[in-house]
Chain A
């Protein structure tokens, strides 16, 4: 019995130390805008899963494509069926690194510029992506935000000729994640 207790405590404390310095959210926001002309082509996703390890600067995002909400149902259907083919590729993922992690003092409240580099997988295609943003450290939470552009053609998302005028190949992505410490 004592042995079991010892091992349980050892395991628990191991878990706690391992989780140290990690922050996460499961309700991060991603917004994208592919408006080319008059018609608004934009959507929001409020269930982004993100984890950051402040010790190593490793950062990871997972986004369910079917959770993008559009104002118009038809646009949402086209997005899922014709563009990102979410039945075949339900998830988009980013795995990368905070390049300037050493410059961020996670124990001191403040606004820090952040540079992120990594691999974005969308529509079955993985590409290197770089983005600049900021991290706000405040009262034990991290707020990470970034705006960057991707080219739909880089991810083999094809826009049919008929709607080429309305959908921009260069799409603006905005990320906004309020992250809490992860307790092991």
Chain B
């Protein structure tokens, strides 16, 4: 009798634990990039060079990783919906690192000045090679925050 109670109790505890884990997993929010250490910390120029040398290798290395990129603010763009993108790079290179701002950290990004030095952290999502010769190639970074 005692044994049976223990078994039932064990099963109940396991079921509750599994349920709680499932609940937690299901409602788990996206990680706040600001609180995560980057997998790579690199300068804009070195990153652009890596991609212009071999973009498929570089894509494999960085895809989905949180990276911190140091460089000069080429532009801060605000789109029609009010979202910000920090463009890192130099005027003499049409390629850039485009960091789409995380909506939770938009204010600090909006106040960035063109030409200033900055370190931006975000998730590398892909590389768009420019085939028109007019658009410039882009290293795309999402959920970007200022790297402190």
Contacts and interface: CB of A to CB of B under 8 A. Distances in A.
Interface of A: 15, 18-19, 22, 24, 26-27, 29, 46-47, 49, 51, 62, 64-67, 69-70, 72-74, 76, 80, 86-87, 90-91, 178, 182, 184
Interface string B89-130: 000000000101000000000000000000000011110100
Given A27-B79, A64-B126, A74-B28, A86 B135 contact: no
A22 B134 contact: yes
24 contacts: A18-B134, A24-B135, A26-B135, A27-B77, A27-B79, A27-B100, A29-B81, A46-B79, A47-B142, A49-B128, A62-B128, A65-B126, A66-B64, A67-B126, A67-B142, A69-B143, A72-B28, A72-B29, A74-B25, A76-B30, A80-B64, A90-B59, A178-B80, A182-B134
Interface of B: 25-31, 59, 63-64, 77, 79-81, 83, 85, 98, 100, 123-126, 128, 132, 134-135, 138, 140, 142-143
Given A47-B140, A62-B128, A67-B100, A27 B63 contact: no
